Amino acid sequence: MGLRGGGGIADGPVLVLGGRSEIGLEVARRLAPGRVVILAARRSGELAEESAAVRAAGASAVHCVEFDADDTASHPALLEKLVAEHGGLGVTVLAFGVLGDQVRAERDPAHALAVVHTDFVAQISVLTTLANLLRAQGDGQMVVFSSVAGVRVRRANYVYGSAKAGLDGFASGLSDALHGSGVHLLLVRSGFVIGRMTAGMDPAPFSSTPDRVAAAVVDGLRRRASRVWVPRVLQPAFFVMRLLPQAVWRRMPR
How many whole angstroms separate alpha carbon 66 and alpha carbon 40?
Answer: 6
| C-beta separation of 95 from 149 below 8 A | no
| C-beta separation of 229 from 150 below 8 A | no
How many whole angstroms separate alpha carbon 93 and alpha carbon 79?
Answer: 13
Residue 187, SS3 per DSSP = strand
Q: How many CB atoms lie within 10 A of CB 209?
A: 15
Q: Does the annotation mark 160 as catalytic? A: yes
Catalytic entry in 67, 96, 145, 160: 160
How many whole angstroms separate alpha carbon 19 and alpha carbon 92?
Answer: 11
Q: Which residues are the active-site residues?
A: 160
